Amino acid sequence: MANEKNERESGGTQVAPIIGPGHDFTSVTDKISDVVLTKGFKKQWLIGFAASFGLLQLFLVSVVWLLANGTGIWGLNVPVMWGFAIINFVWWIGIGHAGTLISAILLLLRQDWRTSINRFAEAMTLFAVACAGMYPILHLGRPWVFYWLMPYPNTMALWPQFRSPLVFDVFAVSTYATVSLLFWYIGLIPDLGTLRDKAKHRVAKVLYGIGAMGWRGSARHWSRYQTAYLLLAGLATPLVVSVHTIVSYDFAVGIVPGWHTTIFPPYFVAGAVFAGFAMVLTLAIPMRAVYGMQDFITDRHLDNMAKVMLTTGLIVAYGYLMEDFIAWYGENEYEHFMILRNRPFGPYRVYYWGLIACNIVIPQLLWVRFCRKNVIVLWLISMAINVGMWLERFIIVVTSLSSDFVPAAWEHYTPTVWDWSLYLGTIGVFLSLMFLFVRVLPAISITEMKELVHEVQHREGHGQGRGNEHGNGDSSHA
């Protein structure tokens, strides 16, 4: 808000609007709730959901086969005992981080452009964390006793080892999943009330009514609600930083060349935000086209997200550079070999250079205004980053494990068809949940959009003495 004003005053240039022109309370409510409350399905939705649901079946098959045969069906071997399970765990958790960043941190920073993407990004967080959480559990070999990781009074008289980052992880990820769910649900309550009041079908009315818990939008309710929401945002902010920091401890605490570095926590967090924003763009660009939401997810949103991606991408690049520098400067022969010789020129060099291309070279296109404005180019760049961040985790996990200290113990890692099928399967789970979400729940916060409309009207009223005229929700300052 303040920024926008300054830009306008200083440069005199017109800032792109964060909401399309001509919206008022009624139109915002109708436009967003119509997506959910209309009968039938859009063709694009059906095709997309069918494809994702097919992948979800692949997930079920992979899990059943895994439970029947054990983790031996994966390509794991003795030095490389982490493989895809941990690569994909870290990848999914990272994707989740953008949701929390958008909804919590940008809320605290009063960036009102976040409003139309936060709900969507929070849902993405929730589903990504669900996918992430499945990997360590399936990786246990005996997933049905996963609750042994939790401290509970048990007949074995055992405690988890609280000094281990792997136990930190259990607490971090489960707290993160719970807080994300709470944050998402709290945000949904007033909107569920709206849907309850607007739904025509009896079953929909009852179901949304249950979700809304009898919300009446009373001023006392709103007052407590806003306080609780703001405090949740304040709690989620350090939480999101802690989660990927702790994930990076899984590596950094281990005395393994290529893992044992202090740069890991900050560059993991930056990488998570980088990957997460790429995923938000990957999903938001097609969604806004299919549902005609260009008025709410405007070009300015895409532009801002592209800039966040560029910034975090540069932090990630700095992380790689520091890793290389310290490997050279530190003169530890194992680290020197791992980072300066094995990764760029060893057996996984194709993955390594792919990662450099996708994470460092291609994102530099975002300096060019055209690439941030053209949705197809932007979508392709975000896809490249999704791939690049996956390759980064592959390189970190696999190269360091497959060739550590003694060459006699080295072993090459090749993922099997079951590794790939489970990976594709979780993508199916994630996309199916996303498709269901945009169909049955408001993908954009109706309440917050109304606040935005009100604010914009107010601002205009002050600036041009137009009073409280409705139907002029244009923030373009034209």
What DSSP line would sit under 114-177, residue for residue? GHHHHHHHHHHHHHHHHHHHHHHHHHTS-GGGGGGGS----TT-----TTSHHHHHHHHHHHHH
Residue 464: CB minimum distance to another protein, A? 17
311 Cβ contact partners less than 8 Å away, ≥ 6 residues apart: none
Burial class from Cβ neighbours inside 10 Å (0-12, 13-18, 19+) for residue 333 reads: exposed
| Site track for another protein across 176-195, x = CB under 8 A | --xx--xx-xx---x--xx-
157 Cβ contact partners less than 8 Å away, ≥ 6 residues apart: none
- Is 96 a binding residue for another protein by CB under 8 A? The answer is no
CA-wise closest residue to 180 among 102, 249, 267, 115:
102
Stretch of 65-73, 99-107, 168-176, 402-410 lying at the interface with another protein (CB under 8 A): 168-176
Stretch of 34-42, 113-121, 141-149, 216-224 lying at the interface with another protein (CB under 8 A): 216-224
CA-wise closest residue to 83 among 410, 420, 340, 343:
420
272 Cβ contact partners less than 8 Å away, ≥ 6 residues apart: 93, 94, 95, 96, 97, 98, 244
* Out of 39, 43, 163, 202, the residue judged to bind another protein by CB under 8 A: 163
- Is 57 a binding residue for another protein by CB under 8 A? The answer is no
Residue 209: CB minimum distance to another protein, A? 7
- Is 151 a binding residue for another protein by CB under 8 A? The answer is yes
- Is 450 a binding residue for another protein by CB under 8 A? The answer is yes
* Residue 107 or 239 having the CB closest to another protein: 239
CA-CA-CA-CA torsion sign (472, 474, 475, 476): negative
Distance of alpha carbon 111 from alpha carbon 468, whole angstroms: 24
* Residues in binding contact with another protein, number by CB under 8 A: 63
238 Cβ contact partners less than 8 Å away, ≥ 6 residues apart: none
- Is 162 a binding residue for another protein by CB under 8 A? The answer is yes
Residue 202: CB minimum distance to another protein, A? 15
The tokens 């909107």 sit on which residue? 191
Stretch of 152-160, 327-335, 357-365, 435-443 lying at the interface with another protein (CB under 8 A): 152-160
- Is 460 a binding residue for another protein by CB under 8 A? The answer is no
Helix axes 446-464, 25-37, angle to 10 degrees: 160
- Is 97 a binding residue for another protein by CB under 8 A? The answer is no
Q: What is the dihedral of CA 80, 85, 88, 90, to 10 degrees?
A: -80
Residue pair 83/75 in contact (Cβ under 8 Å)? The answer is: yes
* Out of 109, 231, 255, 321, the residue judged to bind another protein by CB under 8 A: 231
Stretch of 8-16, 128-136, 225-233, 316-324 lying at the interface with another protein (CB under 8 A): 225-233
Q: How far is CA 257 from CA 246, 459, 470, in A?
A: 19, 56, 63
Residue 322: CB minimum distance to another protein, A? 23
- Is 223 a binding residue for another protein by CB under 8 A? The answer is yes
Distance of alpha carbon 338 from alpha carbon 16, whole angstroms: 47
- Is 17 a binding residue for another protein by CB under 8 A? The answer is no
Residue pair 294/20 in contact (Cβ under 8 Å)? The answer is: yes
Residue count of the chain: 478
Distance of alpha carbon 361 from alpha carbon 357, whole angstroms: 5
- Is 205 a binding residue for another protein by CB under 8 A? The answer is no
- Is 255 a binding residue for another protein by CB under 8 A? The answer is no
Q: How far is CA 133 from CA 90, 336, 403, in A?
A: 10, 33, 28
* Residue 73 or 233 having the CB closest to another protein: 233
* Out of 6, 414, 464, 468, the residue judged to bind another protein by CB under 8 A: 468
- Is 108 a binding residue for another protein by CB under 8 A? The answer is no
Span 127-146, contacts to another protein by CB under 8 A: none
- Is 38 a binding residue for another protein by CB under 8 A? The answer is no
* Out of 82, 249, 251, 352, the residue judged to bind another protein by CB under 8 A: 249
* Out of 53, 65, 146, 171, the residue judged to bind another protein by CB under 8 A: 171
Residue 268: CB minimum distance to another protein, A? 14
Binding site for another protein (CB under 8 A): 24-26, 29-30, 151, 157-159, 162-163, 165, 167-168, 171-172, 175, 178-179, 182-183, 185-186, 190, 193-194, 196-198, 209, 213-228, 231-232, 235-236, 238-239, 242, 246, 249, 446-448, 450-451, 454, 468, 470
